[in-house]
Structure 1
Amino acid sequence: MAARVLERIDGAAMLAQVEQWAAINSGTGNMAGLAAMAAELVDAFAILPGTVRLVEPAPVERMGADGRVTAVEHGRHLVVSVRPEATTRLLLFGHMDTVYPVDHPFQALTWADERTLVGPGVTDMKGGLAVMLAALGALESERALDGIGYDVLVNSDEETGSLSSAALIVELAAGKTAAFGYEPALPDGTLAGARGGTGNFSVAVHGRSAHAGRNPEEGRNALVAAADFAVSLARDAVAECPVNPARIDGGSPNNVVPDLAVLRVNFRPRNPAAIDAASRLIDATVASVLDRHDVRIDLHGQFNRPPKPIDARAARLFALVAEAGRELGLSVAHRDTGGVCDGNNVAALGVPVVDTMGVRGGAIHSPQEYLLVDSLVERAALSATAILKLAEGRMP
């Protein structure tokens, strides 16, 4: 059966699909583009023998440069459910959004050479979505999955932290035997293993305006307090949770003491204990800056991606994928990475996950993003073979 399944994978059709999808700008904030991409995916995933639906995003708020917290619009999320009554069920997940907004100059597809397609989202992850669908379509065509069920999630906000799809991830991951995500592998095919976590925070510092020459002592400089907050975090960060104070929005004319500044900070916890340590650091820094500068501080944000270690069940799933690779003549290794994705959230629910089953490529999140086209069939075959093993009872 495996040979028949692999024969069903059509590389030319996959490439055409990637080119069609990558021509749609679906940056996370582009509602029209996300709607167009979702419509394409609804049609494409309709080949599977299940229900296809679009789920409304959960409410999300963000702090602006003015210190106010307002609602943020997101696109709908695609969910496909196949054989929900099955005892053994898998989760396959990906995302339709890219990091390229509608006004970004990187919009067109070009060929660097005969095997390298350059374009926005070709690797992260419209190529990955094509791999997922091709593998499932080939397996279903041969009725190779009749004994198991699965859910597919393609969310619209992974690139900004999956805040509007977090509850949906929890719902769909519950009770799953294993999960595959379709983030890109490295150019040589290496998979991401253990991952750190991440948290993003905005710190609004409210000071008091005053004339910089006549009565500066009556002012409370929000910019200085925000800078002190950033320096304190960087100085006192624990080793297991690197901190990146990334930006300060605010300021005033040179002759005015600034009364508002908003600091943006990213944390990268390497284990759960580091999240607790970082939370204590934030609280201590708030207290010390309030004491030194007599300002008001509003904090907004959260640790939205927990660290993802490789436990025993995840290790067995990686071994199963490596075995599938060997059967195809591929050497499939994995290594730890500092990057994060929805695989962090799935693993936190106790589900073994390999989250880089997508295409080989590189330079993602840049105007040089490229896809190695021969990896479309290769990675679809890897997914199909690994899923077939799971369907045959080779569970982690």
Structure 2
Amino acid sequence: MQDYFEKEKDNMLHLLERIVNIDSGSYQKAGVDKVGDILINEFAQLGFIADVHEIPDKGNNIVLKHEEATNPSILLIGHIDTVFPAGTVAKRPFTVEGDFAKGPGVFDMKASHVMTLYALKYLISQNNDAYKNVLIIINTDEEIGSISSRELIVATAKKVQYVFIMEPADLAGNVVTGRKGGGKFFVKIYGKSAHAGVAPEKGASAIQELALKIVALHELTKKEGIHVNVGLVSGGQSVNTIAPFAEAGIDLRFETQEQGEFAQAKILEICSFTETPNTRIEISGGITRPAWKTDERQNELLSFMRDAASEWNIDLGSTYSGGGSDGNFTGNMGIPTIDGLGPRGGNAHQDDEFMVISSLNERGQLLVKVLDKINKRN
């Protein structure tokens, strides 16, 4: 198996270059769909049939199932959208430097799709029918909370016994067995403009009111298991004008559902009134991903994977993450879920994002072994 992945290395990198060199930010529908079409065609050559779920304003979500499959018990989930704006590929396209591949989305998480494809190719080449036991969801809006794909993920996950999230692994190769829940809120504050020097008393500062809200919102972080961050702010008309408008984006993280519900209620309460006269406030958003905590069935699946990894003398570590993924949905549902099965690398969402090329082989073999062992057990 190791020889197979080594032999296919150049082909994997060629495909990876093709899909990395397409701008596919979450709101760039044409680019996201182009990446999806390439993967649909690649999987079709293996006998996988695509069920395309059309989305008008974002990339189309895709479910792949082999034409010979009857009742798959494993769901693999991965996204093809990135966080990068249009034009990023032109500035820093796919490159290879030694054992590192670089480019927008190469690590998070386009390399995972290439690795998954070639793992299934290997199973087919060996007449190992574990490939028939797999469903695949290609998600197109994970980076903005899986808004359009959550319903599809939940409905599909109900049909399987196990879920593997093909998000990338960290440099140590740890898999993820739990994640914080999260939410996004957006606040708009309306005030009244006035000349800051001539008649400031006629104005009502939206920026002043927003500043008060930011202090109160950040105070929630003192509560156990809760973190609130006002990460985006804007407003005002000019430096010598009382600000008639201000807005902010709020990020919420929590370790348990109870903490999340408490924090959401407090955020809505804080933003339900204003303290600055003649201002008004609007808030939208809410919890986007539930908290995912490890349970007994989860630990059983992890133990099973560690047994598979030990056959290559790999000590498979696990970690808990503050970041969210589609694993939050399936893990919270109680379906045994393991996240972070993709290749190793680092610096996701940054200009120096990278993927360790040799880990395509290492992690590809692990995926093959796990799919094979589950198939035989079932």
TM-score bucket (shorter structure): over 0.9
> Which secondary structure state, in structure 2, belongs to the residue aligned with residue 210 of structure 1?
coil
> Which secondary structure state, in structure 1, belongs to the residue aligned with residue 284 of structure 2?
strand
> Which secondary structure state, in structure 2, belongs to the residue aligned with residue 78 of structure 1?
strand
Identify which of 165, 173, 179 aligns with 2:163: 179
Aligned to 2:307: 323
| Equivalent pair of 1:148/1:391 in contact (CA under 8 Å) | no
Identify which of 255, 258, 281 aligns with 1:273: 258
| 1:300–1:84 distance in 2 versus 1, CA, 3 Å | farther
Identify which of 258, 261, 278 aligns with 2:246: 261
For 1:364 and 1:116, locate their aligned partners in 2 and report how far apart those are by CA, in whole Å. 14
Aligned pairs for 1:155-234 within 5 A? 155-234=139-218
Aligned pairs for 1:294-373 within 5 A? 294-373=278-357
Letter in 2 for 1:278: A
Identify which of 225, 240, 247 aligns with 2:232: 247
Aligned to 1:387: 371
For 1:53 and 1:335, locate their aligned partners in 2 and report how far apart those are by CA, in whole Å. 33
Aligned to 2:94: 109
> Which secondary structure state, in structure 2, belongs to the residue aligned with residue 304 of structure 1?
strand
For 1:149 and 1:120, locate their aligned partners in 2 and report how far apart those are by CA, in whole Å. 32
| Equivalent pair of 1:139/1:384 in contact (CA under 8 Å) | yes
For 1:24 and 1:255, locate their aligned partners in 2 and report how far apart those are by CA, in whole Å. 44
| 1:36–1:83 distance in 2 versus 1, CA, 3 Å | closer
Compute the displacement of 1:215 (Å).
3.6
Letter in 2 for 1:327: E
> Which secondary structure state, in structure 2, belongs to the residue aligned with residue 74 of structure 1?
coil
| Equivalent pair of 2:161/2:335 in contact (CA under 8 Å) | yes
Letter in 2 for 1:17: L
| Equivalent pair of 2:186/2:250 in contact (CA under 8 Å) | yes
Letter in 1 for 2:33: A
| Equivalent pair of 1:361/1:370 in contact (CA under 8 Å) | yes
Greater CA drift, 209-218 or 194-203: 209-218
| Equivalent pair of 1:97/1:157 in contact (CA under 8 Å) | yes
How high is the TM-score relative to the length of structure 2?
0.92
Compute the displacement of 1:248 (Å).
1.3
Compute the displacement of 1:84 (Å).
9.0
Compute the displacement of 1:7 (Å).
6.0
> Which secondary structure state, in structure 2, belongs to the residue aligned with residue 290 of structure 1?
coil
Aligned to 1:18: 16
| Equivalent pair of 1:84/1:150 in contact (CA under 8 Å) | no
Identify which of 48, 54, 62 aligns with 1:78: 62
Deviations 1:225-264 (A, max 9, x none): 1111111111233231111111212112233222211111
| Equivalent pair of 1:25/1:107 in contact (CA under 8 Å) | no
For 1:232 and 1:146, locate their aligned partners in 2 and report how far apart those are by CA, in whole Å. 53
| Equivalent pair of 2:182/2:289 in contact (CA under 8 Å) | yes
Aligned to 2:45: 47
| 1:26–1:327 distance in 2 versus 1, CA, 3 Å | same
For 1:21 and 1:147, locate their aligned partners in 2 and report how far apart those are by CA, in whole Å. 23
Unaligned ranges ≥5, structure 1: 60-72
| Equivalent pair of 1:89/1:148 in contact (CA under 8 Å) | no
For 1:147 and 1:95, locate their aligned partners in 2 and report how far apart those are by CA, in whole Å. 20
| Equivalent pair of 2:49/2:67 in contact (CA under 8 Å) | no
> Which secondary structure state, in structure 2, belongs to the residue aligned with residue 209 of structure 1?
coil
Q: CA RMSD in A?
A: 2.1
Identify which of 270, 275, 296 aligns with 1:285: 270
> Which secondary structure state, in structure 1, belongs to the residue aligned with residue 274 of structure 2?
helix
For 1:189 and 1:321, locate their aligned partners in 2 and report how far apart those are by CA, in whole Å. 13
Unaligned ranges ≥5, structure 2: none
- Please state if 1:90 is matched with 2:74: yes
| Equivalent pair of 1:186/1:360 in contact (CA under 8 Å) | yes
For 1:263 and 1:84, locate their aligned partners in 2 and report how far apart those are by CA, in whole Å. 50
Aligned to 1:68: none
| Equivalent pair of 1:358/1:379 in contact (CA under 8 Å) | yes
How high is the TM-score relative to the length of structure 1?
0.88
- Please state if 1:375 is matched with 2:375: no
Figure out how many residues of one structure are paired with residues of the other and give that number: 374
Letter in 2 for 1:81: K
Deviations 1:99-137 (A, max 9, x none): 222223653122332x12222222111111111111222
| Equivalent pair of 1:94/1:128 in contact (CA under 8 Å) | yes
| Equivalent pair of 2:139/2:149 in contact (CA under 8 Å) | yes
Identity rate of aligned residues, in percent? Answer: 30
| Equivalent pair of 1:202/1:299 in contact (CA under 8 Å) | yes
Aligned to 1:70: none
| 1:274–1:142 distance in 2 versus 1, CA, 3 Å | same
| Equivalent pair of 1:198/1:303 in contact (CA under 8 Å) | yes
Deviations 1:174-220 (A, max 9, x none): 13100111111111211223211111110011122233334433322
For 1:174 and 1:82, locate their aligned partners in 2 and report how far apart those are by CA, in whole Å. 19
Deviations 1:304-334 (A, max 9, x none): 1111111111111111111111112222111
